Amino acid sequence: MCGIIGFSGTENAVPKLMQGLSALEYRGYDSAGVAYFENGSLRFVKEKGRLDKLQSKINAVGVFDTTCGIGHTRWATHGAPSDVNSHPHGTENVLIVHNGIIENYAQIKSFLISKGYVFKSDTDTETAAKLIDYHFTEIGEPIEAVRKALNTIEGSYAVAALFSGHEGKIFAFRKDNPLIAAPSLDGSFITSDISAVLKFTNKYYEISEGEIAVADKDGITFVSSEGNIVQKELQTALWSVDKTEKCGFEHFMIKEIHEEPEALVRTLSPLVYEGNIAVGDLKDDDLRQFEKIHIVACGTAYHAGLIGKVAIESLARLNVNVYYASEFRYINPILGENDLVIAISQSGETADTLAALRLAKLKGVRTLAIVNNEGSALAREAYSVFYTKAGPEISVASTKAYHVQLGALYLIALKFAGIKGTLAADEISRLTHALVNDVPDKIRETLDHKSHCEYVAKKYMNVKNMFFIGRGVDRAQCEEAALKVKEISYIHCEAYAAGELKHGTISLIEDGTPVVAIITSMTTADKMISNIEEVKARGARVILFVTEGLSIPSGIANDIIYLSKTEEIFMPFICGTSTQLMAYYMSLNLGHDVDKPRNLAKSVTVE
């Protein structure tokens, strides 16, 4: 979703802002803008559409000589994408860029209208900007003006602001939205996402809630809510800039699929040593007491949770419920004192997942976050953290992050199997060895044969609808495979439990309807074959993803993708990579914007 970049230094700020905005593009946006000082006055340029349009407008305006500015990529919430609704917003005295939502914008707006303010946009941000302006006009000092405004503002925000009379300074503050301050050799950055500044620096300070950071060419100062200067520890980002570049691949998505084996090894191997497994920072005594697990997550992370349920229940015989995080608060979940809530998120900033975690905490239940983004809100707020080490995931469609989430869940399942005594120690160590060694090798093998996935993708890419069927863990895999195809190819897909089809949905199968069938589980293979026969009898064209070596009748499918064989329980890694490849090649050959599918944002920070 929205992104913020700010720079104040000794060099021209605009090229740095534009590079920062370009690094933020992956988050999803519909418009962009910059604000800056020019000869002591505040100026802005903003434009609906992609960054090249903003750059043309900047060139036309002729912005060359400014060393301090802020920039923004907007993903519309309040008000349609348009030039006027783009950020920055404000007045000739105050300009702000904002991520998040001002919940009481309507009350603030009526108050300001009564004071003579006029509004140009439909955004909630403009009300915050003008409230700050109102107090700034009254007080004449930015920090106090912001404090006064924040007393009124309700909602979530990360804001970077420029004030007239304070040339060269950026004021930044946040609540429930990420924002960091990053010093570099030639100035100071403010950003909502470390990826935006990795070209210039990997050092950063966290801005705590309640603080106001003031960045200028000489450094960054933090002022507490009591008005005291706060000393902070400089952090080092673990992500490097090559992880935010395509490195010769045509898209981030295909690059990130190729990073899956390496990401898995990086995530899992440090946690497995001398026959022991570590689960994030959870101690064995903590784990022993848990009787039930509740997984909360959204989208692809939710699908990882569905597979995690199968793994934990079958290996450790521990009961697992999986919830859409967006539903968790509305179903009055039954949570016991010996329960563990696991929140899974790549970004660690997904509003629904955060809200679900907060509810669990409110109910006094222990929480574990499986999260990829270090220092994110979910990681900060959970009782324990299991960091996945996928590195930055730039493509909107999640691929390698899904694989490391699966890796984390399998490791948790094996750990619980040891704690609960449901598997013998040598079996746990055999499976752990396969997870850390054989699975990455088999993913590499899958990548070596990607051309067959491309062939199948091209053959079916022009269809309007597809069905995905499977049983047990394969059904959960169908959900994720269908989501991947839907989100980047815009083909309507329906994932279905194969046995359920004949209870209604089979009426949608007609001559030529493509049905993807997944068989990685021996126990359901025979039943799946009958289900495939049922759809074939209604004219379906069948694309079968099946573990190599598994016996299937000849002529059962129109196209077969054989999945490199590893331990049956780990087949979702291999099938996951294959179905991601099929989705990628469909989108690519259809000519879609693979990494930035329409309407989607990378990190969904609104509920």
User: Rule CB under 6 A: which residues touch ligand F6R?
Assistant: 298-301, 345-347, 350, 353, 397-398, 483, 487, 603-604
CB of 306 to ligand F6R, least distance (A): 13
| Residue among 384 and 398 whose Cβ is closer to ligand F6R | 398
Catalytic residue among 2, 68, 453, 493: 2
Torsion of CA 456, 458, 461, 467, to 10 degrees: 0
CB of 253 to ligand F6R, least distance (A): 9
| Residue among 126 and 480 whose Cβ is closer to ligand F6R | 480
CB of 216 to ligand F6R, least distance (A): 33
Task: Please tell me what DSSP assigns to residue 437.
Answer: I
d(CA 439, CA 445): 10
Provide the residue type at 407 as one letter. Answer: G
Which among 545, 462, 604 is positioned nearest to 99, based on CA atoms? 604
d(CA 485, CA 91): 44
CB of 403 to ligand F6R, least distance (A): 12
CB of 303 to ligand F6R, least distance (A): 8
CB of 480 to ligand F6R, least distance (A): 8
d(CA 348, CA 400): 15
| Nearest position to ligand F6R, beta carbon | 299
Which tokens belong to 483?
A: 């989501």
Q: Around Cβ 462, how many Cβ atoms within 10 Å?
A: 10
| Residue among 190 and 298 whose Cβ is closer to ligand F6R | 298
CB of 51 to ligand F6R, least distance (A): 22
Which tokens belong to 238?
A: 């673990």
d(CA 118, CA 107): 14
d(CA 459, CA 592): 17
d(CA 426, CA 208): 46
| Alpha helix positions (H), 421-563 | 425-433, 439-448, 450-460, 473-489, 522-537
Rama region for 267: left / alpha / beta (φ>0; ψ in -120 to 50; rest):
alpha
Element (H, E) at 256: helix 252-258
CB 383 within 8 A of CB 350: no
Which among 235, 115, 116 is positioned nearest to 183, based on CA atoms? 235
| Residue 478 falls in the annotated catalytic set | no
Which among 402, 411, 352 is positioned nearest to 377, based on CA atoms? 352
Can you tell me whether residue 66 is helix, strand or coil? coil
Catalytic residue among 109, 415, 484, 602: 602
Beta carbons within 8 Å of 503's beta carbon, 6+ residues apart: none
Q: Omega into 553 within 30° of 0, i.e. cis?
A: no
| Residue among 217 and 358 whose Cβ is closer to ligand F6R | 358
| Residue 199 falls in the annotated catalytic set | no
CB of 35 to ligand F6R, least distance (A): 29
Per the document, the length of the chain is: 607
d(CA 72, CA 86): 8
CB 282 within 8 A of CB 368: yes
| Residue among 513 and 577 whose Cβ is closer to ligand F6R | 577
| φ, ψ (nearest 5 deg) of residue 35 | -130, 150
Provide the residue type at 340 as one letter. Answer: L
| Residue among 384 and 579 whose Cβ is closer to ligand F6R | 579
CB of 577 to ligand F6R, least distance (A): 14
CB of 297 to ligand F6R, least distance (A): 7
Which tokens belong to 88?
A: 């920055």
Task: Please tell me what DSSP assigns to residue 193.
Answer: S
Provide the residue type at 536 as one letter. Answer: K
| Residue among 398 and 432 whose Cβ is closer to ligand F6R | 398
| Residue among 167 and 480 whose Cβ is closer to ligand F6R | 480
| Residue among 429 and 489 whose Cβ is closer to ligand F6R | 489
CB of 604 to ligand F6R, least distance (A): 5
| Residue among 299 and 308 whose Cβ is closer to ligand F6R | 299
| Residue among 16 and 484 whose Cβ is closer to ligand F6R | 484
For 207-239, the DSSP string reads PPTT-EEEEETTEEEEE-TTS-EE--PPEE-S-
Which tokens belong to 29?
A: 């946006």
| φ, ψ (nearest 5 deg) of residue 489 | -105, -15
Active site residues: 2, 602
